[in-house]
């Protein structure tokens, strides 16, 4: 498939033009025209690029690409090395940030909710069409420790649990990655537990004082699933060769 055509298909699928984001979504760096093999990952790090080169991929597809708002604009140092490696090897870089967090089926949040066996999943802020956070419930009440164990088993990573005091957890809200500040919205709605990727110092006090269990499941760990779902969509719908590479990241 032609690289631009693939970009158009994904842009449309993920509805990128309706998002105000911190980075450009879509084809960020152009490579060869014909895309057959795609490597997917959470972040377009040098390690991921090196594997894509080794495996003769025509494209990399990630959640965290480049050109973030506020970052230095100069193409020097680490940024130069990454971009040079991509261009030297003709590798297209596709990146989808918020659109891949929010997509109702393929998004990071939709996929994490499904993985954690949360039912009745819906937007945390129903008044916002592009609400990143989601809310739902468990089919049976869990204790704080049981939910911790479930996250650990399903994400293969021990979460940091801040006990909010409630004995039973039935309702749960979540936002992958750096979504910790949605905890206040969840607490205001009386939800029993909130899960995000990263945690801030303030999150602990909010959890304790507002009486909501909080779990930091890992930014990387909680955002591995959207890009994999998108990869499966590309394989099935577009017939391209897609492989997900998990570059370990403890954060
Ligand atoms: Zn993220």
Q: How would DSSP label each residue in 47-93?
A: HHHHHHHHTT-SEEEEEE-S--TTS--S--HHHHHHHHHHHHTT-EE
Gap from CA of 217 to ligand 1 centroid (Å): 12
Gap from CA of 43 to ligand 1 centroid (Å): 9
Cα 73 off chain centre by:
24
- Give 119-169 pLDDT, tens digit per residue: 999 999 988 878 899 999 999 999 999 999 999 999 999 999 999 999 999
Gap from CA of 175 to ligand 1 centroid (Å): 10
Gap from CA of 164 to ligand 1 centroid (Å): 25
Gap from CA of 33 to ligand 1 centroid (Å): 28
Could you tell me if residue 135 is inside a domain? yes
116 and 211 fall within a common domain: yes
Could you tell me if residue 24 is inside a domain? yes
User: Domain tally for the chain?
Assistant: 2
Please state, in angstroms and rounded to a whole number, the distance separating the CA atoms of residues 243 and 59. 11
Angle of CA points 212, 214, 137, to nearest 5°: 70
63 and 165 fall within a common domain: no
Could you tell me if residue 243 is inside a domain? no
40 and 91 fall within a common domain: yes
| Cβ burial, residue 243 (10 Å; 0-12/13-18/19+) | middle
153-184 in b/e form (b: 16+ CB < 10 A) is eebebebebbebeeeebebbbbbbbebbebbe
81 and 149 fall within a common domain: no
91 and 117 fall within a common domain: no
142 and 209 fall within a common domain: yes
150 and 84 fall within a common domain: no
Neighbouring CB atoms inside 10 A of 227's CB total 25
134 and 172 fall within a common domain: yes
Q: In the predicted model, what is the mean pLDDT of residues 222-230?
A: 98
Could you tell me if residue 233 is inside a domain? no
Q: What is the largest CA-CA distance in the chain?
A: 57
Could you tell me if residue 93 is inside a domain? yes
Could you tell me if residue 230 is inside a domain? no
Q: Who's near 35: CB < 8 A, 6+ residues apart?
A: 1, 2, 3, 6, 58, 59, 92, 240
Gap from CA of 167 to ligand 1 centroid (Å): 31
- Domain with residue 46: its CATH number is 3.40.1390.30
Could you tell me if residue 107 is inside a domain? yes
| Parent domain of 191 | 103-220
Of 36, 63, 97, the residue that ends a domain is: 97
Where is 179: in which H helix or E strand? none
Cα 10 off chain centre by:
16
Gap from CA of 70 to ligand 1 centroid (Å): 16
136 and 189 fall within a common domain: yes
Gap from CA of 78 to ligand 1 centroid (Å): 20
- C-alpha distances (whole Å) from 59 to each of 55, 62, 149, 164 are 11, 10, 36, 44
Please state, in angstroms and rounded to a whole number, the distance separating the CA atoms of residues 246 and 48. 8
- Give 84-130 pLDDT, tens digit per residue: 999 999 999 999 999 999 999 999 999 999 999 999 999 999 888 78
Question: Which pLDDT value is given to residue 130?
Answer: 82
84 and 169 fall within a common domain: no
Gap from CA of 222 to ligand 1 centroid (Å): 9
Q: In the predicted model, what is the mean pLDDT of residues 72-83?
A: 97
Could you tell me if residue 239 is inside a domain? no
Mean confidence (pLDDT) of the chain: 97
* Entry pTM: 0.95
Task: Give strand pairing partners of 62.
Answer: 41, 95
Please state, in angstroms and rounded to a whole number, the distance separating the CA atoms of residues 11 and 17. 8
Gap from CA of 229 to ligand 1 centroid (Å): 16
89 and 112 fall within a common domain: no
Gap from CA of 248 to ligand 1 centroid (Å): 15
69 and 140 fall within a common domain: no
């Amino acid at each position: 498939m032609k690289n631009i055509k693939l970009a158009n298909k994904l842009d449309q699928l993920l509805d990128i033009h309706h998002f105000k984001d911190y980075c450009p979504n879509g084809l960020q760096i152009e490579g060869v025209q014909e895309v057959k093999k795609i490597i997917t990952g959470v972040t377009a790090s040098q390690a991921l690029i090196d594997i894509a080169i080794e495996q003769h991929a025509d494209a990399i597809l990630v959640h965290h690409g480049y050109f973030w708002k506020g970052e230095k604009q100069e193409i020097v140092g680490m940024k130069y090395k990454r971009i040079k490696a991509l261009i030297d090897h003709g590798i297209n870089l596709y990146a989808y940030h918020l659109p891949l967090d929010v997509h109702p089926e393929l998004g990071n949040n939709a996929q994490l909710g499904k993985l954690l066996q949360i039912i009745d999943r819906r937007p945390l802020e129903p008044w916002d069409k592009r609400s990143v956070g989601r809310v739902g419930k468990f089919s049976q009440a869990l204790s704080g420790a049981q939910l911790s164990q479930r996250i650990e088993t399903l994400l293969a990573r021990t979460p940091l649990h801040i006990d909010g005091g409630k004995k039973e957890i039935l309702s749960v809200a979540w936002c992958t990655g750096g979504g910790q500040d949605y905890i206040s919205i969840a607490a205001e709605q009386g939800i029993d537990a909130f899960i995000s990727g990263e945690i801030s110092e303030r999150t602990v006090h909010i959890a304790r004082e507002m009486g909501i269990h909080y779990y930091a499941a890992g930014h990387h760990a909680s955002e591995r699933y959207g890009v994999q779902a998108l990869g499966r969509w590309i394989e099935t719908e577009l017939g391209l060769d897609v492989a997900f590479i998990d570059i370990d990241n403890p954060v």
